[in-house]
Amino acid sequence: MSRTTRRLAVATAAAATAVLLSAVPAAAHVEVEADGAQALAQDVELTFTAESESATAGITQLRVILPKGIAPSDVTYEDGPEGWKFATTDDGYTVKGPAVKVGGDAEHSVVVRQLPDAKELVFKTLQTYSDGKVDRWIELGESDDGHGHGHGNEAPVLELKAAAPGATTVSPTPSTSPTPTPTAAETGVSPTPQAADTEQDEDSGLSTGAWIGIAAAALLVAGAVFLVVRRRGGAQQ
């Protein structure tokens, strides 16, 4: 075989290999990212991008299982595909709606009240298509084959920076201050006579029962005085 023939064969093989490689679709997956991804950071927006691996159906739902330290009530929906709705579940949340275009990615974002004190967060995700197929992005990369390599179904992971000095964990449930009762001046509605009497009693520092007792005692004293005066008048006659 001549040198020219060998070169032509090599070039042909390389071109064929390039065509074959370009024809293989990129591995789909779900990614999560956030600005300010730091342990104990508050009000952090997380953006999830679910890539499609179907050539015939569009993505219709994403179910995200939250990692330890983030409760469903700590998550609020920010944005997503047009027409999609957000709902919490026992272990996370779902976003779903009309199918995105075939081959299109589904991106949505949520805000987390506070990230836990951890080095990384794993968000296992189930991705559903309009034909009923489900991609399960739930595997942990370090446990798939013992060498740190997954098999294509790895769950999205968010790496966290160390907590800022002095950062603390906020209460699980935000404290709610009691709603103050509006005054008549604020509402423009006068209180009922009973309410007005109650307010006056409270302002004077005595309860309604105390005032009733005082009134009864006064009546008894007045009655006794009246009887005494009447008896003296009868005796003088």
**Three-state SS string across 156-178, please?**
CEEECECCCCCCCCCCCCCCCCC
Asked whether the beta carbons of 64 and 189 are under 8 A apart, the reply is no
Model's pTM, two decimal places? 0.61
Asked whether the beta carbons of 140 and 17 are under 8 A apart, the reply is no
**pLDDT score recorded for residue 231:** 62
Most confident of 104-118, 163-177, 189-203: 104-118
Three-class DSSP category at 53 = coil
How much of the chain, in percent, has pLDDT values that exceed 90? 54
